[in-house]
Amino acid sequence: MFITAEHIRKSYGEQLVLQDVSFAVKEGETVGLLGPNGSGKTTIIRLLNGVIDADGGSILVGNWNPVTNGHEIRRMSGILTESAGLYYELSGLENLKFFAKLYGMYDERRIQMLLEEFQLANHQHKKVGTYSTGMKRRLGMIKSILHRPSLLFLDEPTNGLDPEGIQLVMQYIRRLSKEEGTTILICSHILHQMETVCDTYLFLEQGRILESGTKSELEARHVQQISVKVETGLAGSGQYAGYSYERVNHETVRFELPSKDAITNLLAALTKETWVHQVEIENRDLESLYFAIRRGKHE
């Protein structure tokens, strides 16, 4: 395990922000921290990189204890936060040169390569204060990965980005994970984006871990019935091959199935009798899971 957190407790004054939070992250894993505003996601990141201390429990990050070795953890990690900690009076290039020297990893070629990669090369000499929100975000992203960190914390990495920017950043995150084996923790409320990069998820609510696991594990625990939309020549509505279905429009019906396995049986029966053009599972996406998990815990 690259990160282990056991029974963490954290309060700000009277307010208990994290209570009995335990989780583990494997090396090279991309983990999505999910939960409503104020549930404690950013606090977890700040505890892991030793910017703040927990009131109880223990944390290890790559064998370092953030309380005593926060400096070492911050050296081997990169972080992208809302403000990104950029100097607005300096140009984009000057910011990157400054941070590269600070990390002790100055490499002019790498800086230029990343500026190209994140489409900021043409803006590198402009003051960061004049950058758009999306440009600041992309520069913040470069700053966080400049020193090839083995651990990356990303807090809302696509906030303020246009569709091209989102694609650029998400692709880069996938590449970091695949090619460099970077361990990545991402907080985001944009669940369909998380789904394309995360291996596992931690669901937080009011400072507690509500659920954790891979998408398949979460599905197995929380999706009791599968809704499948099928574009087919099947007529009517009611029951077919032992499964109930309703009509969505003249060429589409929705089946309610007891499990994923039933899809094979259903399609085998359907294709013998009529045409099938498209099959789509409707309630398997991360957003449906998110609400199923939150509903489940409140029932």
Ligand X SMILES: Nc1ncnc2c1ncn2[C@@H]1O[C@H](COP(=O)(O)OP(=O)(O)OP(=O)(O)O)[C@@H](O)[C@H]1O
| Min dist. Cβ of residue 162 to ligand X (A) | 22
Closer residue to ligand X (CB): 32 or 40: 40
Which of residues 61 and 253 has its CB atom nearest to ligand X in the complex? 61
Query: What is the nearest approach in angstroms of ligand X to the Cβ of residue 279?
Result: 35
Closest contact distance (angstroms) between CB of 101 and ligand X is 29
Find the shortest distance in angstroms from Cβ 200 to ligand X.
18
Q: What are phi and psi of 192, to 5 degrees?
A: -70, -25
Q: Which is nearer to ligand X, 114 or 210 (CB)?
A: 210
Least distance to ligand X, CB of residue 20, Å: 15
Nearer to ligand X, 39 or 182 (CB): 39
Phi, psi values for residue 201, rounded to 5°: -135, 145
The binding site for ligand X (CB under 6 A) comprises 12, 17, 35, 37-43
Radius of gyration in angstroms for the set of CA atoms belonging to the chain, rounded to a whole number: 23
Among residues 92 and 207, whose Cβ is nearest to ligand X?
207
